[in-house]
A = this chain, B = another copy of it.
Amino acid sequence: MQDYRYDGDITNGKHYDEIIEADRSELLSRQFILIERETPVVIVISGMIGSGKSDIINLLNEWMDTRFIETHVHRPPSDEEADRPYFWKYWRRLPGEGETGLFLGSWYTQPWLDRIDGSSSRKKFMSSLQDIVRFEELLAADGTLIIKIRLELTEKQQIKRIKARKSRPAYSWRMSADDMDHNYPFEEKKKLTDEMMELTNRPHAPWFRIDASQPHRRNLSVMHLLTNFFEEHLKRGGPDLSGIEQPNGFLPSKDYMAEMDLTPSIDRPDYTVLMEKLRKKIFKNAWKAHHKKRSLVCVFEGADAAGKGGSIRRLIRGLDARLYRVIQIAAPKGREQTTHYLHRFWRRIPRAGFVTIYDRSWYGRVLVERVEGFATEQEWKRAYAEINQFEKELTDAGVVVLKFWLEISADEQLRRFKAREVTEHKKFKITDDDWRNREKRTEYQAAINDMVERTSTGYAPWHLIPAEDKKFARVEVLRLVHEALKKMK
């Protein structure tokens, strides 16, 4: 955590105006290079009441090209936001390429408020900070430039500032979002803030403290800090990632795939009876879960032709169409290509109370993107932790995450590929890609083993399902879905 102060001479108002006029173009020209380089920029402006946060926001909009800036103010979550994991609110507000997001009130605000008024425990507060650190790490690693500014006053200065403000009529019309913390002792708030800043200060997302006692000096400090920070970033060619731990030496994973027993099967009569029974229970329990606002996410991954689609079709027969959604994940397109790969999954998180079925998923990053080289080694190695964090945030919000890997033997796969080629309405399902993937079976098996080892967490374990017998796999899927829904009661 650093202090930043503009030390130039500001003898009078006229002098100040001249400096602003002269130095503004320095800031602006750097913004334009960042736009050209399509860099997303996140600026967090925090500070105590009376420190001039919103003055700074107004000035930044004036100094920089406001067309590429979006200002976000802390507000209580909307009902759509409240029905989703905490960070959804921020994912949907993240700046795109070349855009700047000004956050007056940010992901720090709610944990801080909850801790100050005692509604969250110290443990919960620390865990929120952990989530924040991971969130910022993920953004920075993906190229987002993050800077966090804290405007500071002493208690005396603050009291004076609040008194002065009350006498200015314009202010009487303003919302008092930042008046929430009015009733807590200054020292206590300052201590909590300092601790929060200390624990979340990182080279790729640094905190800067700026003395806000003299407005002119404060403004110039912000202007020069940003100019310098942008300049450093441009020189380095990206965020300072020195503080992000690189995934350690990758020890070989256990060979989960080789150890799978693919022989289990089930008779047709048993299958029919079981499926009918499970479907009825699932139908009912999905409605119960809906009324309790509990969500279920089912991730279907598996070898080509392992029967993902068929299993999904059998599963949804047991669900009311009003309650589920099937999302097919293909290669990203449009804006999806230019934002973090998790963005499109975050964006589409349903409101609480629904079943979302993914036909392929975010695991593409560590499977096809890894094997085919669409993601760099750094990217896919980083992805395991990012995915775990994503699933943790889902489960923290009460979502149950079920992950199925459907496996078949190489021989069975070949048999199914050939069968597909002769069945009219299945022809479209077999492509050259499938044959190519088949040739890379060894690489895929290694990727799958790593995935299972690194992302089978306590809160979202992998279910490895032998799918050599399609009926067996379908029953297993329905059984696990049923169990998950039942537990939501």
Contacts and interface: CB of A to CB of B under 8 A. Distances in A.
A312 B66 contact: yes
Interface stretch (A53-61, A208-216, A472-480): A53-61
Contacts of A66: 312-313, 316, 326
Interface string A52-88: 0010011011100011111101000011100000000
A236 interface: no
Nearest to A334: B334
A67 B326 contact: yes
B61 A316 contact: yes
A40 to B, nearest CB: 15
A278 to B, nearest CB: 13
A438 interface: no
A69 B283 CA distance: 20
A325 interface: yes
B322 A173 contact: no
Interface residues of A, number: 55
Interface stretch (A24-32, A152-160, A381-389, A446-454): A24-32
A424 interface: yes
Nearest to A73: B322
Interface string A192-226: 00000000000000000000000000000000000
B58 A317 contact: yes
Nearest to A169: B284
B67 A322 contact: no
A173 B68 CA distance: 48
Given A78-B79, A79-B80, A333-B335, A174 B424 contact: no
A91 to B, nearest CB: 15
A321 B284 contact: no
Contacts of A336: 334
B58 A328 contact: no
Nearest to A29: B425
A449 to B, nearest CB: 27
Interface string A148-188: 00000000000000000000011001110000000000000
A346 interface: no
A236 B454 CA distance: 52
Contact of A174 (B73, B78, B320, B326): B320
Contacts of A284: 169-170, 173
Contacts of A78: 78-80
A440 interface: no
Given A79-B79, A170-B280, A291-B173, A322 B425 contact: no
Nearest to A338: B334
A321 B174 CA distance: 12
B327 A57 contact: no
A287 interface: yes
Given A58-B321, A78-B79, A320-B58, A173 B287 contact: yes
B325 A287 contact: no
A12 to B, nearest CB: 19
Given A78-B78, A284-B169, A284-B173, A316 B62 contact: yes
Contacts of A463: none
A425 B185 CA distance: 47
B327 A67 contact: yes
A134 interface: no
B58 A104 contact: no
A104 to B, nearest CB: 7
Given A78-B79, A316-B62, A335-B335, A173 B54 contact: no
A62 to B, nearest CB: 6
A80 B75 CA distance: 13
A115 interface: no
8 contacts: A25-B424, A29-B425, A54-B320, A68-B328, A71-B321, A80-B80, A170-B283, A173-B284
- Closest 8 A/B residue pairs (Cβ): A334-B334, A67-B328, A173-B287, A57-B321, A25-B425, A334-B335, A73-B322, A66-B326
